[in-house]
Amino acid sequence: MKRGRIRIVGRVQGVGFRYCACTEARRLGLQGCVRNLPDGSVETECEGEDGNLRAYVEWCRQGPSMARVRDVSVTYTEPTGEFEGFQIT
């Protein structure tokens, strides 16, 4: 199990990015949350199997076409087990 904090920069607020990210994370069996940040970026924290987490990061790099993702930064940390399901916050 691995945990990652992913920050996505681009035209990501107000285009359904959080809903799409939540749907993709659930499809991959990840636990966590996705939220808008005041600076217009989106942050997602999630835990899951290493391969699934890497696939999610790659999905975030592409995102929905309307999101125009410019940058994705990832910080990996130790899993905490604090998440249950995947939520939009």
7 in catalytic set: no
Please pick, among 36, 52, 54, 70, the residue that the annotation labels catalytic.
36
Please pick, among 18, 35, 52, 54, the residue that the annotation labels catalytic.
18
52 in catalytic set: no
Whole-angstrom distance, CA of residue 70 vs CA of residue 73: 10
Alpha carbons within 13 A on the beta-carbon side of 77 = 9
Q: At what angle do helices 17-27 and 50-62 cross, to 10 degrees?
A: 150
Please identify every residue annotated as catalytic: 18, 36
